[in-house]
Structure 1
Amino acid sequence: MREDITPLKSLEAVLSWQSSSQTELAKSTVEISHSFNRCGDTPKTLVCHDMAGGYLNDRFVAGCDGSGYRFYHWQYLDMFIYFSHHLVTIPPPCWTNTAHRHGVQVLGTFITEWNDGKQVCSEFLQSARDYRGLVNKMVEIMKYYGFDGWLINIENVIEEDKVSHLREFVAYLTQRCHSEITGSKVIWYDSVTRSGELKWQDQLNEENKMFFDACDGIFLNYNWDETKLQTSYNMAGTKRAHDVFVGVDVFGRGCPGGGGYNSCEAMTKIRQANLSAAIFAQGWVYETQGAENFTKNEDRFWQLLHDHCSTSTFTSPLLCTSFCQGEGQKYFCKGEVVKDRPWYNLSLQQIQPSFNMHGQRSEVKSLEFTTSDGYLGGGCLLLRGEVEREKEKLWFNLFQLDAPVSTALTVTFTSKGGS
């Protein structure tokens, strides 16, 4: 029987959660890498992964046969949020492992919605003892599974006399996360106002700033315009402007630009306002454009966003990767096939290139990932090109590096020629 990760669907399930009842395989095994860096004080980018209810083939802690959605453009991200419509969404360890390998933080989701959510909030916001008890369990869960914080998504009316407790819940969660895990983050979603009304603001303003002030950032709803962006920047101030994550819904749904491959239009406006971005449901590519052309379309999607996302720099002189993306039609070890059937396990994804491969395709050369052959894992990089003159060279950019080198550096690689 395969071990899998499941969400916690009720307040009772969260409050009764015990680490002793969990399998060790459920934990993330990869500490967040400190070998990636972004220069200067630049706007951030997070992805909120909401796809077909979540917990698909990624839920199996030791992987599975078959295939599934994968993400490999980590060079553009600061945070990755695993999202579902259950009360507590625990990120499957495969996402935490591969994100951490690339220096990216992973957040779980705490969500309440509609009438059921109103009842849940009424229960845990009864008193300081109640909301502190919930926070302590959430922090315990975060530490056990090894992820880095929470998105708080309250999408229901809050009784007016409990709004202050909601703010204190957010503040206490933020304080406890910070005290237990250095650099952890708590992000508030723009939905409930200071009066307890469920009313999306699409901006940072006086109606939601009390929650922003209590945590590390706010994830704005998607129906904004340039005026609301300016209001958000002014309200946050220069010191916290990059803690405002403006929502970009890749499925459109009222977002400027209409989403899809035109998500770059919304990103352009966000960056002109010097704000951070929250890209929601980037799995649109996989869900709507066809799994058979996923790699080509995914590279196209992120190439269009390339100029609007700062790229991480690798800062360690020690770099080892097979470029495996965490799945394959076969599994290779030292160039030999050891498993001759499709498999999927994002925990096995290796460090990915810093540069978008779509941007390195032209009439004379191409760089792409292939699953038809490999040295270790599910595939390798396939480089093609032609030169007209004897001494002409083809250049492919793989990594953005800024690593100190004080002694001789040894570089080795394994390749296979082709016609």
Structure 2
Amino acid sequence: MSERPTRRAVLAAGAAGLAAGALPAAAASAGAAEDLQPYASYWFPDGLPSGTPAPGVTWRSLSAWRERDDADLPFNRATVPLAPRFTPPPPNATARPDQARVCALAAFAPTSGNPSQGSASADFYALSHWAYLDELVFWGGSAGEGLVLAPNAPVVDAAHRNGVRVLGTVFLPPAAYGGQLRWTHDLVRQGPDGAFPLADKLVEVARAYGFDGWFLNAETGGGDARLGARMRDFVAYLRARGASGGRALRVTWYDAMTVSGDIAWQNELNERNAPFFRAADGMFLNFGWSRSGLVSSGELARSLGRGPFELWAGIDVEARGWDTPVDWDALVPAGGPHLASYGFYRPEWTWRSLPEGGRAPAAFHARDDRFWSGAALDPACPESGPWRPAAATVVDRSTLIALPFATTFNTGHGLGWYDRGRRVAGDAWNHLGLQDRLPGRRWVVHTAGDRPFVGFDFADAWRGGSSLLVTTQAAGAATVELYAARLPLSEATVVELAHRTDPGSAAVRVEVALALEERPDRFAYLPAGTLPAGGRGWTTATLRLGPLGRAGGTARVLGVRLTAPDGGGVRWRLGELAVHDAVPAAPGRPRAVTVSASTRNADGTAALRLRWDPPAAAGTGRRAPGPVRHYELRQALPGGGFRFLGGTCGHAYYVPALRRTAGEAATRVDVCAVDELYSVSAPASVMFRW
């Protein structure tokens, strides 16, 4: 890897260095294939830079944005609602409820050229430790590309599925990195009626795109007290406007500009930046904080009627990750109350720091698990050491509060796509919106023997791109906790799983583990059978709760217990786990599928933009369809079967390269709705004529 710039340079430069009917033939659409590719949106506040944008960069003005004119909005709109979640008892004695939380500033891709709906690569920051996050900032921006970034839909949909808010970024860079004070003045321009037009635009964009608010980072110097006061009023107006018309939007302020208008990082909350804190929902403190500064910050926050955990103490992990020196005892002391919340800057270090050519998905997830859980990968017994992972101090949260629940352990990227154990697409891919709800505690294991290895694996899957792999070297029972839950149980409740052993594995006895009390060491076990040695393909099992269901109650922890009855090492995969009562009817088929634009690629494939309407409203019968989780697009093959093209939670999708099969005159593309139990609707189809 090349030498990394300092945090200040990266913060200043932003992410610029990351850098059903027949359709007419493809030739009817003008333009090159790349013209059809939708990208995540970014803007300047109003006036554009002088000169010409770099190749691949489009300069846009936020003041000129109109929802009705945004051709890419259907591809960028998030549709998954923010899920409610609860806080279970922590798995260790050091994590404390209702104290420190976590905000993370993460750059998933460059500011420009960031595809709206994933891409054909597994080399991607597939963040999955949502259980510890309160707030995710979609980080980026640069003076050469744009300063206002709207998160793309896959990130927001994945975060919302896990109850995490996502904020867009407004970045006003220092003059040394291309910042112009006029952009700050443009942003806070006030109308004769006292309104702030661009604050109104920010609210409109967040509502239209489906994300949760804005992170404001003003670092362009040269301002005065008048500009500082206007910025304060802008922040208060933005927050007030975002609180009306539905779920309130959030505003987080970065500790850079002071109320006098100058740029002076305070590293604490004090009288120079408190007006912004009062106007916003929270503040991200600069990275030079100290214990005394955090103590005084907390005291001031309380005097303002706020709490110390509305302050995110910045921790810059971009360059060194878990080797970053941090004064943990000043932030989250072991012997007293926490003083502030975590503010991670660039935790995607776990992905970017892998060597070129070595960013395999399994390698990334192993590193990401270590970053959040610690080197021992055991949140129940976090080791002491220079790195204090979130699992050691922050209580995880869960959205498993209602049935049905299902997961296929799909991490949102993979080396292929599987459907019921069959590989139906051989290309690498990423789309975070297709990610399942994944285990929050990685990994709590109860065993009297050697601890098994637990992790995500991409060599085989039941559905999606990955499965959960448990590997043991010796015999002995091991219970792996997977989910903290509040799932209501009844006589009608069943548990389903799809699992297998790999070649070379010993036989393994499998049981589903359920804890019905807030004591995860007291489990009830449901036998799921014994899989033979050697790996013989996927097996499905449906387990009825029996007396457990008749007694009612609530599943508090959901996991599995594995035993090798004949001894030997085990390689066991879990491909699907579901808990439900009555199975809803399959979802209705989507409606009015159309190809809104198309063109030919140089290699003979075709690029398509597709649109559709959701299924008609469900009836009220005993087996009414459940809600749609996402949509999948499939290419019908002439000899039967299908090729998986992709999926999305929204109602539009871009297919970059539809491949013609066997010289066919027309290709049928099917769009299917998929529900929470992965039941698939009948297809709605459109024909594309070559």
Rounded Cα–Cα distance in structure 2 between residues aligned with 1:52 and 1:142: 20
Q: Distance in 2 between matches of 1:155 and 1:98?
A: 30
Q: Which residue of 2 aligns with 1:170?
A: 235
Structure 2 counterpart SS, 1:70: coil
Q: 1:189 aligns with which of 228, 231, 254?
A: 254
Residues 1:214 and 1:360: Cα distance change in structure 2 (over 3 Å) = farther
Q: Which residue of 1 is the match for residue 244 of structure 2?
A: 179
Matched, 1:11 2:61: no
1:379 to partner: Cα distance: 0.9
Match of 1:354 among 440, 447, 451: 440
Deviations 1:15-49 (A, max 9, x none): 11011222312100211111454675332211111
Distance 2:86 2:180 in 1: 39
Q: Which residue of 1 aligns with 2:78?
A: 28
Q: TM-score, normalised by structure 1?
A: 0.90
Mark the CA change 1:333 to 1:216 in structure 2 (over 3 Å): closer, same or farther.
same
Alignment-derived partner of residue 41 in structure 1: 98
Aligned partner of 1:153 in structure 2 is 217
Count residues with an aligned counterpart.
Answer: 408
Stretch of structure 1 that moved more, 126-135 or 166-175: 126-135
SS of 1:413 mapped into structure 2: strand
The structure with the largest alpha-carbon Rg is 2
Q: Which residue of 2 aligns with 1:213?
A: 278
The answer to which structure has the higher strand fraction is 2
AA in 2 matched with 1:347: G
Residue of structure 2 in register with 1:255 after alignment: none
Partner of 2:674: none
TM-score under structure 2 length normalisation: 0.56
2:497 paired residue number: 413
Partner Cα distance (1:379, 1:236) in 2? 44
Which deviates further from its counterpart, 327-336 or 64-73?
64-73
Change (3 A) 1:70 1:359: farther
- Does the 8 Å CA contact 1:37/1:315 hold for their aligned counterparts? no
Q: How far does residue 123 in structure 1 lie from its aligned partner after superposition? A: 3.1
Q: Structure 1 pair 359/228, CA: closer, same or farther in 2 (3 Å)?
A: farther
Aligned counterparts of 1:54 and 1:125: Cα–Cα separation in 2: 23
- Against the structure 1 CA distance between its residues 105 and 407, is the aligned structure 2 distance closer, same or farther, given a 3 Å change threshold? farther
Alpha-carbon distance between aligned partners in 2 of 1:131 and 1:8, rounded to the nearest angstrom? 21
Q: Which of 95, 104, 123 is the matching residue for 2:186?
A: 123
Q: C-alpha offsets along residues 339-373 of structure 1, whole Å, 9 cap, x if unaligned?
A: 01111111111111111149899944121101100
Q: Letter of the 2:165 partner, please give it.
A: Q
> Hey, what's the Cα distance between the residues in 2 that align with 1:48 and 1:333?
34
Report the equivalent of 2:115. 60
Contact 1:303 1:358 in 2 (8 A): no
Aligned to 2:330: 269
Question: Quick one: which amino acid aligns to residue 106 of structure 2?
Answer: H
Partners in 2 of 1:406 and 1:278 — Cα distance? 42
Contact in 1 for aligned 2:452/2:471 (Cα 8 Å)? yes
Q: 1:53 and 1:25, CA in 2 relative to 1: closer, same or farther beyond 3 A?
A: closer
What is aligned with 2:412?
A: 326
Match of 1:244 among 311, 315, 321: 311
Among 23, 42, 50, which residue is 2:107 paired with? Answer: 50
Structure with more helix by fraction: 1
Conserved? CA contact 2:444–2:481, under 8 Å? no
1:82 aligns with 2:82: no
- 1:25-77 Cα offsets, whole Å, 9 max, x none, are 21002111114546753322111113664456xx3233221122210111111
| Residue aligned with 1:224, SS | coil
Select which of 396, 402, 417 maps to 2:480.
396
Q: Once the 2 structures are TM-superposed, how far is the Cα of residue 128 of structure 1 from its aligned partner? A: 4.4
| RMSD of aligned Cα (Å) | 2.4
CA deviation map 1:272-301 (0-9, x unaligned): 343111111001121123324322211111
> Whole-Å Cα distance in 2 between the matches of residues 47 and 406 of structure 1?
39
For the structure 1 residues 28 and 36, does the alpha-carbon distance in structure 2 shift closer, same or farther, using more than 3 Å as the test? Answer: farther
Q: Judge conservation of contact 1:167–1:214 (CA < 8 Å) in 2.
A: yes
Shift of residue 185, structure 1, vs aligned partner? 1.1
Q: In structure 1, what is the Cα distance between the partners aligned to 2:433 and 2:446?
A: 27
- Contact persistence 2:445–2:481 (CA under 8 A): no
Q: How do 1:235-314 residues align onto structure 2 when only pairs under 5 Å count?
A: 235-237=300-302, 239-251=306-318, 259-263=320-324, 265-272=326-333, 273-290=338-355, 291-292=359-360, 293-304=363-374, 305=389, 306-313=391-398, 314=400
Question: Does the residue aligned with 1:11 lie in a helix, a strand or coil?
Answer: coil
In the alignment, the residues of structure 1 paired with residue 480 and residue 208 of structure 2 have an alpha-carbon distance, to the nearest angstrom, of: 41
Unaligned residue ranges in structure 1 (runs of 5+): 253-258
